[in-house]
Structure 1
């Protein structure tokens, strides 16, 4: 009986061991995007290849947070520094990836981020996107980088 008990314990112990080489799968882009809120850290804009002055982007956007939720909703929080005191503190909208998750579409009315953007980088520490919205009839190339909040 003692040998059977030891044999059972040995089998149970071996079965509980994790095999070498087994690893946790990398998180999907959706998992990375929805894991935390994202704060705009830098934005660069160009017109016909010429950089636009950073003063054209209102400073009030610098403390905005974007929270992408798993249900494909997004909430933009204006932070403490609102562009207009009568603006709502938060605005809601939707987001989606294309099939290969290389493009992110954001729909938040009145937001700086609205439309389709190429996802240049998405890690646990960086979200970097680029887009070319038309503003006042001119195509403006915009590169934006976000950090987790």
Structure 2
């Protein structure tokens, strides 16, 4: 019977290679799955399909259909929400002014129980950031903005339809 012996340097090298190969491997973190509401929101593009303001002031209620006075070039604009909490506001096929940028970036977020959405939309005149309750399903969502005014409230409900 023959005894085989490895030189000590070879044995040390062999052990080092085994330790490196079997060492603590860092695994790539799997991305967290999106929650259902965020998944629904980022799954499609959204276009305003209705915009109504109801003002109640000193006992009188007035309803205004804001969407009816949107110019045609604004009715084709749309928003794409991203899972990194950014959003792209696109002018759509028809720009209202040739100098308007085709796309602008904003941000969005949920409150802790995902009942209120906050958006910073660079194209929304008069109110850069707006926040309100959201009613969301796969086909559409409604965002309700409520402002206190002298003698009452002003409630704007914007409906977005997915496509």
- TM-score of the two chains, using structure 2 as the length reference: 0.64
Does the Cα contact within 8 Å between 1:40 and 1:61 map onto a contact in 2?
no
1:45 CA displacement: 1.5
Picking from 116, 128, 136, the partner of 1:122 is 136
2:157 is equivalent to residue 143 of structure 1: yes
Mark the runs of 5 or more structure 2 residues left unpaired by the alignment: 1-34
Alignment length (residue pairs):
120
Mark the runs of 5 or more structure 1 residues left unpaired by the alignment: 1-26
Distance in 2 (CA, whole Å) between partners of 1:126 and 1:31 is 13
Bigger radius of gyration: 2
When the two chains are superposed, the root-mean-square deviation of aligned CA atoms in Å is 2.5
Residue 53 to residue 108, structure 1, CA distance change in 2 (3 Å):
closer
State the match for 1:103 in structure 2: 116
Distance in 2 (CA, whole Å) between partners of 1:51 and 1:66 is 26
2:54 is equivalent to residue 46 of structure 1: yes
Residue 82 to residue 140, structure 1, CA distance change in 2 (3 Å):
farther
1:46 CA displacement: 2.4
- TM-score of the two chains, using structure 1 as the length reference: 0.69
